[in-house]
Structure 1
Amino acid sequence: MRKNVTIATALLAASSFALAACSSGAADGGDAGDDSADGPVTLEYWGWGTPQPPLVEAFNEAHPDIQVEHTDAGGGTDSSAKLVTATRAENAPDVALVEYNTLPAMIVAGVAADITEYTAGLEDQYAPGVWSQATFDGATYGVPQDAGPQALTYNKARFEELGIEVPKTWEEFAEAAAKVHEADPDTYITTFAPAEFGGFAGFAQQAGAEWWNLEGESWTVNFDDEASVAVADYWQDLIDRDLVLAEPLLTPEWNSKLNEGKILSWPAGLWAAGVLYGIAEPMAGDWAMAPLPQWEEGNPQVAFQGGSAAVVTTSTEHPEAAAEFAEWIGSSEASAAVQIEQGQYPASLAGQELTLESDPPLLMPQQDDYWEIAADIAENTIPEISWGPNVNVASSAFQDAMSKAVTDGTPLRDALTATEEAVFEDMETAGFDVTRN
């Protein structure tokens, strides 16, 4: 499916959504000889998350001829939207972190440059399923930095205090949610966050959903398929019984509840340990990680939630230096060591092997088997997930519809239908050959 993305790109390039490369120094046509000018090359890098500052610091120390200035421009769709705007305004950074699911849209929008000429031989340093997240039609548009297969990060101390077994299936998770709330009515096993497009997508993909499908030049969108509706109904039931908190994540209020031991788990990508440590450092040692509950007992497959690649933008005047930086922070052992310390699961094979010799993340220093469990989870990640060219539209529509459903008390499954309608209309307007299932 991914190999045909450039067909869709060509269609969209003819529409009003396409963007031209933003400067005469664009990576697909710029003069790499600029990188050899007197003095160090200075690059601007947009990347979010706790690993990025130490990654940049480590790179700068090892590369006196290339110095990188880091800006946290927000993560996910927020960062992608800013990248599109910055590209139009001709002031985009040289390198940017982009989530795998938004990379197709960044290619379509003319943000991510083809860096194939700078990444020869790099493919063998990644598992095929990970490398495919950043390549389209045989061209490379980014260097994978981290992988985010979903897992269950949970407050082990509170689970033990309340007598809760770690659930192995989603049915057991619902039973545990009831036990938690019965034991302590002010405590919830987890949060259903209506704005978490990537999280819900991962749960649905684990259940067998495929929201975009490309055959030849024809797209199909199907957000309210049987699997996705079943997942929505599952969370609907927990919300209706007041067994999960239905509110946004990582707000001051949510952070406070988490630190008070009132929110006991976060089913999310393996990066969750690093995020939680950043807001709940005093709780280090209380938390642990386990495999994500299964929809079907005995089926350990999980989806990616997040995971990102460093892309060289079409705006850079130093494509070769930018590609060198992207490659280093994605594939070197030194960068992997930083990621591991911060609780991020490296995308590279060398980095994943290094985890097995490393200490656990700072949030759970007592969990000696953390990286062994992570490796097992990574081995069971769904190998191919198709994302469409307008993930940004889908994410925005999903957030609006899900938030409204939670606020108004209407069915979550209806929010999936509303999301599909928005995605279909956007793709049809852009000139895609698209149908709805």
Structure 2
Amino acid sequence: MRTKAVRHTLRGLGLVCAAALALTACSSSTTGSGDGGPVSASGLDTALSQGGSITVWAWEPTLKQVVTDFEAKYPKVHVNLVNAGTGDKQYTALQNAVQAGNGAPDVAQIEYYALGQFALGKSLQDLSKYGAPDLSKQYSPGPWTSVSINGGVYALPMDSGPMALFYNKKVFDKYDLTVPTTWDQYVDDARKLHAADPNAYITNDTGDAGFTTSMIWQAGGHPYKVNGTKVSVDFTDPGSAKFTDTWQKLVSEHLVAPVSSWSDQWYKGLGDGSIATLAMGAWMPANLASGVPTASGDWRVAPLPQWRQGQSASSENGGSSLAVMKSSAHQDLAYAFLKFANAGDGAQDRIKGGAFPATTADLNSQAFLDTAFPYFGGQQANKIFSDSAKSVVTGWQYLPYQVYANSVFNDTVGKAYVSSTPLASGLKAWQDASVKYGTGQGFTTGQ
């Protein structure tokens, strides 16, 4: 079961980021084993048999069991698991330690959207020397793309968030709504529902950077293009326009509830039916079960609506990785822990604890696919999530300073939800702010 704090970070919401996270502050001393030459499996075995101590900074609760099992299997290794803060708080602490040249952990949990910032800043070890690229087929495409940066592999995926549509079947049945297969149908449902009950809305939205980028991703958009320190930002591309044109109708016609996600009012709306759907990552079921228990049996899961009838495109919404810090003096042990946690026995610990897998073997296992969810009326929802993971649109990139970009989302795009500012204008303002910041940090930027 995820904590509230973990849910927030998994959604990839805008985070307030200190200027210390900028490119110019991301250099790192290179101690420990460094880049070095290839490290074989026998080399890792030797490191494990010799033992030692590593520190892991992470907030994800399922890692506690992973540490217990790892230490039981390798009794000469001690893992110091530290919660140094969630998301942006940990990133700030991590960057401060990198700048100071001491105090950084051996392993750090980093969300996919923030990973490029640390990788490009040379704070993370490229795991290619351990043969990490050979693990590519073990993971679904979305998470693997996120950890593969500029020809290197800078982390191993912990989990994934392929998107799906969660909908209140009780509400849909009451108002004779058809589960939408396209976003145009979704808008029609929104109009029909709100006309029938002015207090009911198809969904809520007050502006969410992670949701916006996930929707543009699904629409085939590529607003961010990154090649080393050369970046471009363009929210006028066709995919962005698809999202903007459709979502503007919902905002302009007041068809989305002006309620912030994860607020008390949001939970109430999910429970009483006044918020009828959520387009979110596959990590959401446990949150519904714990946060809205009274609505058990009312909700179901469907594939994400499409931008064009007949398509089956999806995108990722949230998720984290584990990375080895380049300053670590125990990189071999650190990588061995990563592999155990994310590609070995520890991955099963995490799945049992409620994490949604990024590993294809688990996504395709019959036991996983056949799991019945009592909250969803016994529906085998993992079949939908698994199909979504296989259908994630490839080629998506985040900015190497996405943490900062997301932090100014509400100051730019957010205005479209509380004023007459069009979404397209808000995205243009977000684009301009992102380009300006990147230029100031030494990136070559453009549109």
TM-score range, shorter chain: 0.7 to 0.9
Per-residue deviation, residues 325-365 of structure 1 (Å, max 9, x unmatched): 222221125524632662x4311122212365455475736
* Pair 1:360–1:15, CA change in 2 (3 A): closer
- The equivalent of 1:306 in structure 2 is 318
Note the C-alpha offset of 1:25. 4.3
- The yes-or-no answer on 1:123 pairing with 2:136 is yes
Instruction: Read off the aligned partner of 1:420 and give its amino acid letter.
Output: Q
- The equivalent of 1:394 in structure 2 is 405
* Pair 1:15–1:167, CA change in 2 (3 A): closer
Match of 2:408, SS?
helix
Note the C-alpha offset of 1:27. 5.7
Note the C-alpha offset of 1:53. 4.6
* Pair 1:129–1:153, CA change in 2 (3 A): closer
* Pair 1:53–1:400, CA change in 2 (3 A): farther
- The yes-or-no answer on 1:375 pairing with 2:386 is yes
- The yes-or-no answer on 1:159 pairing with 2:172 is yes
Note the C-alpha offset of 1:51. 4.3
Q: Among residues 137, 140, 152, which one is paired with 2:153 in the alignment?
A: 140
- The yes-or-no answer on 1:351 pairing with 2:359 is no
Contact 2:235/2:431 (<8 A) preserved: yes
* Pair 1:36–1:369, CA change in 2 (3 A): closer
- The yes-or-no answer on 1:149 pairing with 2:162 is yes
Match of 2:326, SS?
coil
- Give distance in 2, aligned partners of 1:159 and 1:43: 49
Contact 1:43/1:68 (<8 A) preserved: yes
- The yes-or-no answer on 1:261 pairing with 2:262 is no
- The equivalent of 2:237 in structure 1 is 225
- The equivalent of 1:16 in structure 2 is 24
* Pair 1:188–1:60, CA change in 2 (3 A): farther
Q: Among residues 302, 309, 322, which one is paired with 1:290 in the alignment?
A: 302
- The equivalent of 2:18 in structure 1 is none
- Give distance in 1, aligned partners of 2:64 and 2:196: 41
* Pair 1:87–1:241, CA change in 2 (3 A): same
- The equivalent of 2:418 in structure 1 is 407
- The equivalent of 1:209 in structure 2 is 221
Per-residue deviation, residues 173-218 of structure 1 (Å, max 9, x unmatched): 1111123223332222211241x21211121122232112246975
Per-residue deviation, residues 33-56 of structure 1 (Å, max 9, x unmatched): 9966988635233134x6445555
- The equivalent of 1:8 in structure 2 is none
- The equivalent of 1:339 in structure 2 is 351
- The equivalent of 2:436 in structure 1 is 425
- Give distance in 2, aligned partners of 1:160 and 1:60: 51
Instruction: Read off the aligned partner of 2:320 and give its amino acid letter.
Output: S
Match of 1:210, SS?
coil
Contact 2:184/2:246 (<8 A) preserved: no
Q: Map 1:41-80 to 2 at 5 A.
A: 41-48=53-60, 51-56=62-67, 58-60=69-71, 62-64=73-75, 65-71=77-83, 73-75=85-87, 79-80=90-91
Note the C-alpha offset of 1:254. 1.9
Contact 2:159/2:356 (<8 A) preserved: yes
Contact 1:144/1:330 (<8 A) preserved: yes
Higher deviation after alignment, 359-368 or 33-42:
33-42
Gaps in structure 1 of 5+ consecutive residues: 1-12
Match of 1:122, SS?
helix
Higher deviation after alignment, 320-329 or 165-174:
320-329
Contact 1:356/1:372 (<8 A) preserved: no
- Give distance in 2, aligned partners of 1:63 and 1:212: 42
Instruction: Read off the aligned partner of 2:25 and give its amino acid letter.
Output: F
* Pair 1:91–1:399, CA change in 2 (3 A): farther
Q: Among residues 196, 201, 204, which one is paired with 1:188 in the alignment?
A: 201
Instruction: Read off the aligned partner of 1:71 and give its amino acid letter.
Output: N
- Give distance in 1, aligned partners of 2:420 and 2:387: 38
- The equivalent of 2:330 in structure 1 is 318
- Give distance in 1, aligned partners of 2:174 and 2:34: 56
Per-residue deviation, residues 69-90 of structure 1 (Å, max 9, x unmatched): 2527324x56544432343354
Match of 2:194, SS?
helix
* Pair 1:36–1:193, CA change in 2 (3 A): same
- Aligned CA RMSD, in angstroms, stands at 3.3
Contact 2:370/2:383 (<8 A) preserved: no
Note the C-alpha offset of 1:233. 3.5
Q: Across the two proteins, how many residue pairs are aligned to each other?
A: 418
Contact 1:55/1:338 (<8 A) preserved: yes
- Give distance in 2, aligned partners of 1:20 and 1:106: 10
* Pair 1:302–1:24, CA change in 2 (3 A): same
* Pair 1:220–1:80, CA change in 2 (3 A): same
Match of 1:146, SS?
coil
Contact 1:27/1:114 (<8 A) preserved: no
* Pair 1:141–1:183, CA change in 2 (3 A): same
- The yes-or-no answer on 1:99 pairing with 2:111 is yes
- Give distance in 1, aligned partners of 2:69 and 2:419: 48
- Give distance in 2, aligned partners of 1:274 and 1:361: 13
Contact 2:112/2:143 (<8 A) preserved: no
- Give distance in 1, aligned partners of 2:141 and 2:247: 33
- Give distance in 2, aligned partners of 1:175 and 1:73: 42
- Give distance in 1, aligned partners of 2:231 and 2:54: 41
Gaps in structure 2 of 5+ consecutive residues: 1-20, 37-42
- The equivalent of 2:375 in structure 1 is 364
